[in-house]
Amino acid sequence: MSGGGENSGSVQSLRREVEQHPDDADARLQLGTALAESGQLAEALGHLQRSVELDPSLVRGHIRLGNLLRELSRTGEAVEAYGCALELRPGDPFILSNLGNAWLDLSEISRAIDCYRESLRIYPDAPTTHSNLIFAMQYDSDTSREEIATAHRDWGGRFGQALGQAELPDRQAFDGRRPMRVGFLSADFRYHPVGRMASALWRNLDRDRVMPVVYDNSADDSPAKRRYREQVAQWHSIAALPDAAVTERIRADRLDVLIDLSGHTSGNRLAVLAQKPAPVQATLFAYPNTTGLSAVDWRITDSVADPPGADPCYAEQLLRLPSVAWVYDAPEKSPEPVGSPCLGGEPFTFGCLNNPAKISAATVETWSAILRACSGARITLLVRDDSAHEGLLLAKFERHGIGAGQLLFTAKGPERDYLESHNRIDLMLDPFPYNGGVTTGDCLWMGTPILALEGDSYVSRQGVSLLSSVGLPELIAADREELVAKAAGWCAVPEHLAKLGGDLRGKLQRSPLMDHAGYARELTEALERIVTA
């Protein structure tokens, strides 16, 4: 509470300063920054815009304006603000990194990658920028899994090895006569895909066999987080702690195994994992690839998402569970599926409600071929609430002969609206090479069939894994040509597709993806094997 009070006082003081000196660009910048930090975004925007009007050479003003515009989903304007900052300070690696983030938001993957690479060329000792680069590479249809694996190992070699590993305290080896102490580390233990999955697991762990210990790296609070906190006996809030203190906290808890649920996503504590505060460390679910760290022993997966031959792509050993790598937990409140809208007279509608950064060049080309093969069909795409993003996507499809009349754009909104939008789509299309995960689970939950392309690595095989789990191999295509043919085939016989979707929720509920108790047993048995090996 004290921090909020201090910030409020600072804002009031800065407001008085601006009232006394309305043409002071730096005072406007300071006030805009303080307002943004306190969540008063609309007022902050006005002051930041005024600061750069008063002093167009104010580099920090352009940067902070760009950051706020990006937060407000005005990403096209954010790109312009970062561009102004770069003109004033060419070759600044941090501005380049921010610009890369904005281009990624706009689905401009190659531009984002170019920015990150140029930033790292100038200043290579930037772990977050390097993480952003390897994350973006997975969206790129022209980057091979081997290149991505090498980039992860480079990250681990540069930023992980130098930290050194913590000395573990004396501890009683796990022998199966006591509950196994399992730590869970993430910044996403809230109403989020990670939080939903972790909660489903925690609810079903046998406490005679497993004692879960949570390390929560986020400072926010919410009703969902409070519910999740009640499911475990030990919950540590670590967001305010430096890496050394978190490492010591985990060491003191004398875990048998520590499970990371972040990888290279925002809020990760990879620097803690690199110091190996637990004798066995594993990574699970949240990130679709290797951490690149030799200190992480295992990656938890399944044999469909990571078939034989995938092992060389990981710094970790692969721990393949018998059924599925992770489980799906249904949304707290959701509407009922209503069936195929085209049978009610609407044009046949394809759709994708994934993160729009996943709409790669190969995806646009293939989906355009589908639309050309399906006369009168259209596609609904989730986009940023930003006209610049819509314009960029429209231009990409137009290059493949698809006009605005076949594209429907929808912005992210409340969860119920997102779920209801499935009822306006006949057939979902899984993006590639970065497939949907929980988004595909939501799709199946809402009774909307989804067509997936079989890829060659975990990030591009989530669709295969999910559809195999619910027993729908007919919705999996081996290559892009078959994907187009299957999409056109389903579009031609929508009544068959509607029949397939009629029991999708039931199929999902009966599948391993929603057998939470079975998953908890399989994971427990697998962890017991690796901690006693």
Quick: pLDDT tens for 43-98: 999 999 999 999 999 999 999 999 999 999 899 999 999 999 999 999 999 999 99
Please state the separation of Cα 445 from the chain's center in Å. Answer: 20
Q: Indicate whether 1 pLDDT > 80.
A: no
Q: Name the domain count of the chain.
A: 3
Say how far apart CA 368 and CA 372 lie, in whole Å: 6
pLDDT of residue 7: 55
Sequence-distant (6+) residues with CB within 8 A of 184 are 198, 212, 213, 214, 215, 259, 261
Q: Looking at the structure, do residues 275 and 389 belong to the same domain, yes or no?
A: no
pLDDT of residue 165: 61
Q: Indicate whether 124 pLDDT > 50.
A: yes
Assign residue 474 the CATH number of its domain: 3.40.50.2000
Which structure tokens are listed for 431? 């993006």
Which structure tokens are listed for 4? 């909020």
Q: Is 287 a member of any domain?
A: yes
Cα distance from N-terminal residue to C-terminal residue, the chain: 47
Write down how long the chain is. Answer: 533
* Contact criterion met (CB below 8 Å) for 72 and 56: no
Q: Is 78 a member of any domain?
A: yes
Q: Looking at the structure, do residues 498 and 519 belong to the same domain, yes or no?
A: no
* Contact criterion met (CB below 8 Å) for 478 and 365: no
Q: Indicate whether 323 pLDDT > 70.
A: yes
Cα separations (Å) of 351 from 8, 10, 428, 468? 45, 47, 5, 21
> Could you say which of 99, 120, 146 is where a domain stops?
146
Of 16-25, 117-126, 315-324, where does mean pLDDT reach its minimum?
16-25
> Could you say which of 129, 146, 163 is where a domain stops?
146
pLDDT of residue 5: 43
What string of H, E and C letters represents the secondary structure of 156-193? Answer: HHHHHHHHCCCCCCCCCCCCCCCCEEEEEEECCCCCCH
Say how far apart CA 32 and CA 35 lie, in whole Å: 5
Cα separations (Å) of 414 from 349, 417, 419, 421, 429? 22, 5, 9, 11, 22
pLDDT of residue 175: 79
Q: Looking at the structure, do residues 307 and 185 belong to the same domain, yes or no?
A: yes
pLDDT of residue 129: 96
- Report which residue type is found at 73: S
Q: Which of these, 30, 35, 59, 60, lies nearest to 45 by C-alpha position?
A: 35
Sequence-distant (6+) residues with CB within 8 A of 525 are none
Q: Which of these, 461, 449, 468, 480, lies nearest to 511 by C-alpha position?
A: 468
Q: Indicate whether 398 pLDDT > 70.
A: yes
Residue 378's DSSP bridge partners are 349
Mapped onto helix, strand or coil, the DSSP state of residue 317 is strand
Say how far apart CA 8 and CA 175 lie, in whole Å: 54
Q: How many helices (H) and strands (E) does the chain have?
A: 22, 13
Q: Looking at the structure, do residues 244 and 210 belong to the same domain, yes or no?
A: yes
Q: Is 443 a member of any domain?
A: yes
Sequence-distant (6+) residues with CB within 8 A of 13 are none
Q: Indicate whether 206 pLDDT > 70.
A: yes
| Residue 5 half-sphere exposure toward CB, CA atoms < 13 A | 2
Range of the domain at 370: 341-513
Q: Looking at the structure, do residues 298 and 354 belong to the same domain, yes or no?
A: no
Q: Looking at the structure, do residues 230 and 355 belong to the same domain, yes or no?
A: no
Assign residue 37 the CATH number of its domain: 1.25.40.10
Q: Which of these, 335, 310, 331, 333, lies nearest to 320 by C-alpha position?
A: 310
Strand runs labelled E in 231-331: 234-237, 257-260, 281-284, 298-302, 317-321
Residues 25-44, mean pLDDT to the nearest whole number: 93
pLDDT of residue 247: 95
Which structure tokens are listed for 488? 């056109």
Q: Which of these, 328, 330, 331, 350, lies nearest to 340 by C-alpha position?
A: 350
Q: Looking at the structure, do residues 205 and 267 belong to the same domain, yes or no?
A: yes
Dihedral sign of CA atoms 2, 3, 5, 9 in order: positive
Q: Looking at the structure, do residues 528 and 430 belong to the same domain, yes or no?
A: no
Q: Is 209 a member of any domain?
A: yes
Which structure tokens are listed for 248? 């010591």
- pLDDT tens-digit series, residues 430-488: 999 999 999 999 999 999 999 999 999 999 999 999 999 999 999 999 999 999 999 99
- Report which residue type is found at 400: H
Q: Looking at the structure, do residues 520 and 481 belong to the same domain, yes or no?
A: no
Angle, CA of 439, 440 and 441, to the nearest 5°? 90
Phi, psi of 186 (to 5 degrees): -170, 165
Residue 49's DSSP bridge partners are none
Q: Which of these, 251, 248, 279, 453, lies nearest to 370 by C-alpha position?
A: 453
Say how far apart CA 297 and CA 336 lie, in whole Å: 42
Say how far apart CA 117 and CA 202 lie, in whole Å: 40
Q: Looking at the structure, do residues 348 and 485 belong to the same domain, yes or no?
A: yes
Q: Is 155 a member of any domain?
A: no
Sheet architecture: strand order including 317-321: 234-237, 210-216, 180-186, 257-260, 281-284, 298-302, 317-321
pLDDT of residue 61: 96
Q: Indicate whether 170 pLDDT > 90.
A: no
Q: Indicate whether 3 pLDDT > 50.
A: no
pLDDT of residue 162: 58
Q: Is 170 a member of any domain?
A: no
DSSP secondary-structure letter at 478? S
Assign residue 300 the CATH number of its domain: 3.40.50.11380
Dihedral sign of CA atoms 5, 8, 12, 17 in order: positive
pLDDT of residue 262: 96
Q: Is 163 a member of any domain?
A: no
Q: Looking at the structure, do residues 527 and 431 belong to the same domain, yes or no?
A: no
Q: Indicate whether 521 pLDDT > 50.
A: yes
Cα separations (Å) of 333 from 60, 225, 311? 43, 17, 39
- Report which residue type is found at 207: R
- Residue that is written with structure tokens 């900052």 in the block: 85
Phi-psi sector, 345: left (phi>0), alpha (psi -120 to 50), beta:
left
Residue 234's DSSP bridge partners are 213
Q: Looking at the structure, do residues 367 and 455 belong to the same domain, yes or no?
A: yes
